[in-house]
Structure formats: C-alpha cells, structure tokens
Amino acid sequence: MPKIVDRKKRKIEILSASIDTFYTFGMEKTSMKQIAEGLGIGRSSLYSYFTNRDEILHASFEYAVAEFNSIKKQILESELTIPERIFQLLSATLSNDSEIKKVMVIVLDYLARLQRLRKKIDPLLISFSHQIQELFKELLRQGIERGELIKHNVDNMSFILYSLSKSFLFQKTFYGELDSYTNIKSLQLVLKGIIIEKKRDQGGLI
C-alpha cells in the first residue's frame, strides 16, 4: 500500500524548515532548491505544496505569527519577575537558536527588499511587529502595577525596547554577529533605568 502522507503536518514541517533556510542564506539568496535540500526532499515534492519561493515565504510568516502567539502566552504566564521576562524577550533576539530572532531577521530582510523595490508593505509584517510591541507594552504595564517598574510612558518605552531589539537584529542582517556579551550588558543598562531599586537584586539583571 502507498504511504499515506499527512499533508497538513508535512506543510508545517516545510514552513518550519523554510524559516531556518531563509535565516541561514538570506531571503534574496534562498531558492526552492535550497529549501528542498534543507528538508531532504526533491524539488518536485516541494512544488506539490507550494508554487514558488514567495508563496513559501508568506506562508512561513503566517506560521511564525501563529507560533508567536504561543510564545507570547508563555511569557505572560511565566513566574519570572517582569524585568526578567522583558530581559528574556530582548535576549531572544541575541540567541542563534531563538525562533523569534530567526523570524525577525527574515522580517527585516523582507522589509528592506520591499523598500528597495518600492513595493507595498505586507500587512502580515506590520501585524507581527505590532504584536511584539504590544507584548512589550503589556509587560511594562504589569511591571508598574506590580511595583517592579517605575511609572513611565509605556508607549515610549515599548517603542524604545522594540527599536533596541531591531538594532541587534540589524547587526545580524547587515554586519554579521557581534559580541553578544556587550549587547546583553546594554540591555541590562537600559532596563536598570526603569526597575524599582528594591527589586533590582531579585531580578538578577544588574
């Protein structure tokens, strides 16, 4: 009997592996052949699921946004202090194994490409960026309510934290990996300014 393939499960496997391929080679240099090789399948098999690379790219973003909702839930329900959770989220942009980092690097790469070609920005990219900023806002609000963070303009600080995470990702996109220790110390210095003194030692961030 012919082997029965769970197409839905296989499609998810393709999207997950595609994110790794786009991250490794960059969006411009990634081909259907490279994606197929990363999966260990033939190109004909890959074409039975997707017609071209851009279709895989968009579907990968949709998959990544859905996965980010799960990550968001884990962070919001974590037993860590709010400063530790914010640090955890920011540190994810520095970890090579982080799915958040991989997706955000691809997002920045894609945005840069669209801007070069003067094409309309994909609403999905805007949605993904918005979700990350909203997560920062929610954590900052919780930190103030719990007395772990000083009162401050949450909108401004969430934008600063999001911009900081993007700056680390631009290092990967345009300059390659830089010293992660230096970047982590920079994160600690930024967070130090909004953590209430009595909580700093407990947070383990300073």
The answer to whether position 10 is within a domain reads no
Q: For the whole model, what pTM was predicted?
A: 0.72
What confidence category does residue 170 fall into, taking pLDDT thresholds of 50, 70 and 90? low
Does residue 28 have a pLDDT over 90? Answer: no
Establish if 164 belongs to a structural domain: yes
**From CA 105, how far away is CA 66, in angstroms rounded?**
17
Asked whether 102 and 109 are in contact (CB, 8 A), the reply is no
Query: Closest Cα partner for 22 from 51, 59, 48?
Result: 59
Q: Structurally, how many domains does the chain consist of?
A: 1
pLDDT tens digits, 89-117 = 887 766 666 677 777 777 767 776 776 77
The reply to whether 196 falls in a domain is yes
CA dihedral sign, ordered 143, 76, 184, 155: negative
pLDDT tier for residue 22 given thresholds of 50, 70 and 90: confident
pLDDT surpassing 60 at residue 181: no
Instruction: Read off the pLDDT band of 73 (50, 70, 90).
Output: confident
- Tell me which of 51-65, 148-162, 166-180 is least confident: 166-180
Contact 82, 143 (CB under 8 A): yes
Range of the domain at 78: 58-203
88 within some domain: yes
- Residue 156 in domain: yes
162 within some domain: yes
- Which CATH number fits the domain that encloses residue 153? 1.10.357.10
Query: pLDDT, tens digit, for every residue of 103-157?
Result: 777 776 777 677 677 777 777 777 778 888 899 999 999 999 999 999 999 999 9
Q: Which of 59, 88, 61, 60 is nearest to 72 (CA)?
A: 88
